[in-house]
Amino acid sequence: MLRSFLSLFRSTTLRRYRVKILSDVISDEIQKLPIYKKKKIKILDYGSGYNPILIDELIKKLRQKNKKKLFKLIVLIYMIKNKLSS
């Protein structure tokens, strides 16, 4: 029981850390793009699944850095036929 708790705790902690680092890197790269000068920016997220933690964190960081820009997020989810029927 302790082992499963520690495993869950470790994976949750590492996930949060990975999300933070990835969102920092991606937001810095987006800001370097020439399209970042526009007022409205669209971001396409393909395949993040039902719980898009990374893209949520990324949008938060981009909005914090520049409150005047409008960020539009488009999320596409790839589904297998078996999962659609259940």
Q: Each residue's pLDDT tens digit in the chain (86 positions)?
A: 778 877 888 877 888 888 889 889 988 988 888 877 888 888 877 766 667 788 888 888 888 888 778 887 777 776 666 655 55
Q: For the whole model, what pTM was predicted?
A: 0.67
**Among 22, 74, 84, which Cα is nearest to 53's?**
22
Return the bridge partners of 43, or none: 73
Q: How many domains does the chain have?
A: 1
64: number of CA atoms within 13 Å, CB side? 10
Which range marks the domain in which residue 19 is found? Answer: 2-85
Return the bridge partners of 71, or none: 41
What's the residue count for the chain? 86
